[in-house]
Amino acid sequence: MKTPLSVYSWEQSRAIIDIGSNTVRLVVYGGPPRAPVTLLNEKVTAKLGKHVAETGKLSGKAVAGVLAALARYKALIDLAGVPRVDVVATAAARDASNGAAFLEKVREIGFAPRLLSGVEEAETSATGVLGAFPDAAGIVGDLGGGSLELVDVAQGGSSHGVSLPLGSLRLPALRAKGDRVFVREIGRMLGKADWVAEPGVDLYLVGGSMRALARAMMVRLDWPLEDTHGFALDAGGALKLARLLARRGPGPHPIDGVSSSRLAAIPDAAALLAVLLQRLQPGRVVFSSWGLREGVLFGSLSAEVQRQDTLLAGVMAFVGPMAVDTAMVDAAAAWMADVVPMANTPLGRAAVALCLAAGRVEPNLRRNLPGDWGLAKRWVGVDNAGRAVLAAALRGSVGKGHGAEPWARLASPVMLEQARGLGLAARLCRRMSAASSAVIAATRLEMDGGILRLSSTVPQLVGDGSSRDLKELAQHLGLTAG
């Protein structure tokens, strides 16, 4: 019998090569289609668009560097046996007078590059944002090296996409003309494109320079998270920070996880964001790590797969190697749902899955799981408050812990209390049943008036440890253990 291929194997993977104005990047994705995992992420900072902005042509040096990188990518992909490769080219190749000749050389390497128009680039980035935030409604702004794409998103679709020559490689020259000219030129470009926005909506920001800006904002705020995906601020707070970070003078201090080139781009990205906030008048800013490349992936999925919950798909793939499967999570969630209604939600089920998996981790490593799995792990399809729920549930499932909870500022006290109750219930379920679906089915968690009790068709299942857990859960819920 042939052994089934792992979803994380090269044979089950898919590669996206993004030939951008600033970088040329290869990303190989594996894992579940709805929640892809990065198996390889490699880039070359070629700055193809820099010479285009100055002369209208791709420089020979930049082209040589890109072709060398692409030759390496081709050899790597062929040897690894990656079955599907998509190559997309954006503003630099689109705007350069010698862009067509460059793409012909890419074809000679063995790739089939697809040159995206400005509208296609905007819509593809928007598709990536919709993959990460299915209910997204507002504006997507994707800042690349050569251009800024703006597009409306609502009800799972995008419209009114435009591409403006405001990429990160073009901003320094524009800012050098003075702040008044900078603001006026951006306004002129928006007016020429006939692009206006409905005030008060969300502005979703995509691109490496915007992620670097988000990290700088998070450092300023002493934010409890490091992952910029899903980081959100009200427009007023974002404008205040953007103006602060846009100031001329010494560049920002080094930031962990931000390269020197991205660090240098932060003031210009902040200046652009400040103008966009004033012109577009959004109600909130949300940063997304999903954009163009993820849009290519998500756009190719069937409607059925697209409808899957991203967070739950990612969590189940993560806990699978720890012998936690869907049947087990279904059983545990149903077992506690009458007492902890949150368990019936996708976020609650994801928390249940992680709490069950925590029991498979060495006891001396469990204390760090709320931070490692709840806050630091890259999850898609969850916001700041959702991350806090995961962390609080994990804290309840692995013990009281010590010190302040860094996630307390991310969600309401009521939500965090509910999450802790879920974690306590998951710990009780895990200890009582050894996380076995069959054992879970033999017991019931019941609430009758002010009494919380654990009944079982096999009374011997309820031991001292389970009794202590039941008492702690009842106390948390304001009930009496029966």
| Same domain assignment for residues 347 and 475 | yes
Identify the band that residue 400 occupies on the pLDDT scale cut at 50, 70 and 90: low
Q: Is residue 299 part of a domain?
A: no
- Provide the residue range defining the domain that includes 471: 310-481
Whole-model pTM over 0.85? yes
Other beta carbons within 10 Å of 338? 13
| Same domain assignment for residues 189 and 319 | no
pLDDT tens digit sequence for 224-237 = 999 999 999 999 99
Residue pair 232/383 in contact by the 8 Å Cβ criterion: yes
- Residue for token pair 């794409």: 149
Q: Is residue 305 part of a domain?
A: no
What pLDDT score was predicted for residue 411? Answer: 94
Q: Is residue 246 part of a domain?
A: yes
CATH number, domain of 94, equals 3.30.420.40
| Same domain assignment for residues 152 and 204 | yes
What pLDDT score was predicted for residue 403? Answer: 58
Tokens representing 317 are 């793939």
- Residue for token pair 């790590």: 289
Give the C-alpha separation, 264 to 336, whole Å: 51
Q: Angle at Cα 260 formed by Cα 37 and Cα 264, nearest 5°?
A: 115
CA 397 to chain CA mean position, Å: 25
| Same domain assignment for residues 318 and 456 | yes
Tokens representing 150 are 């703006």
What pLDDT score was predicted for residue 256? Answer: 87
pLDDT higher than 60, residue 402:
no
pLDDT tens digit sequence for 305-363 = 999 999 999 999 999 999 999 999 999 999 999 999 999 999 999 999 999 999 999 99
Question: Which residue type does 158 have?
Answer: S
CA 27 to chain CA mean position, Å: 15
Q: Which of 280, 278, 221, 230 is nearest to 255 (CA)?
A: 221
Tokens representing 166 are 């405001």
Residue pair 358/398 in contact by the 8 Å Cβ criterion: yes
pLDDT higher than 80, residue 9:
no
Residue pair 223/237 in contact by the 8 Å Cβ criterion: no
Q: Is residue 70 part of a domain?
A: yes
| Same domain assignment for residues 287 and 227 | yes
Q: Is residue 404 part of a domain?
A: yes
Identify the band that residue 115 occupies on the pLDDT scale cut at 50, 70 and 90: very high
How many Cα atoms are found within 13 Å in the side-chain-facing hemisphere of 354? Answer: 36
| Same domain assignment for residues 325 and 270 | no
Q: Which residues contact 470 (CB under 8 A, 6 or more apart)?
A: 428, 452, 453, 454, 481
| Same domain assignment for residues 437 and 314 | yes
Q: Is residue 219 part of a domain?
A: yes
How many Cα atoms are found within 13 Å in the side-chain-facing hemisphere of 227? Answer: 19
CA 405 to chain CA mean position, Å: 23
Question: Which residue type does 433 have?
Answer: S
Task: Give percent of the chain with pLDDT exceeding 90.
Answer: 78
Q: Is residue 1 part of a domain?
A: no
pLDDT tens digit sequence for 247-295 = 987 767 889 888 888 899 999 999 999 999 999 999 999 999 999 999 9
Mean pLDDT of the chain: 92
| DSSP symbols for 93-138 | HHH-TTHHHHHHHHHHHT--EEEPPHHHHHHHHHHHHHHH-TT--E
* Burial class of residue 357 in the structure, from the number of CB atoms within 10 Å of its CB (0-12 exposed, 13-18 middle, 19+ buried): buried
pLDDT higher than 50, residue 373:
yes
Q: Which of 115, 147, 181 is the last residue of a domain?
A: 115
Q: At what angle do helices 310-319 and 346-358 cross, to 10 degrees?
A: 10
Other beta carbons within 10 Å of 64? 12
| Same domain assignment for residues 163 and 192 | yes
Q: How far is CA 161 from CA 3, 123, 164, 300, in A?
A: 46, 6, 10, 20
pLDDT tens digit sequence for 66-80 = 999 999 999 999 999
CATH number, domain of 207, equals 3.30.420.150
Task: Give the chain's domain count.
Answer: 3
pLDDT higher than 80, residue 36:
yes
Q: How far apart are the first and last CA of the chain?
A: 51
| Same domain assignment for residues 283 and 324 | no
Q: Which of 64, 94, 115 is the last residue of a domain?
A: 115
Other beta carbons within 10 Å of 207? 26
241 three-state secondary structure: helix
Q: Please give the average per-residue pLDDT across 461-472, as a whole number.
A: 84
Alpha helices in 326-458 (DSSP H): 326-336, 346-358, 369, 384-398, 413-433, 437-441
Residue pair 47/145 in contact by the 8 Å Cβ criterion: yes
Other beta carbons within 10 Å of 404? 8
What pLDDT score was predicted for residue 3? Answer: 44
Q: Which of 93, 115, 137 is the last residue of a domain?
A: 115
Looking at 112-116, 331-335, 343-347, 432-436, which range is the least confident one? 432-436
Rounded (10°) CA dihedral 31, 33, 34, 36? 40
Q: How far is CA 450 from CA 444, 447, 454, 482, in A?
A: 16, 7, 14, 9
CATH number, domain of 392, equals 1.10.3210.10
| Same domain assignment for residues 164 and 18 | no
448 forms beta bridges with 451
| Same domain assignment for residues 374 and 227 | no
| Same domain assignment for residues 253 and 384 | no
| DSSP symbols for 447-470 | EETTEEEEEESSGGG--HHHHHHH
pLDDT higher than 90, residue 457:
no
Q: Is residue 2 part of a domain?
A: no
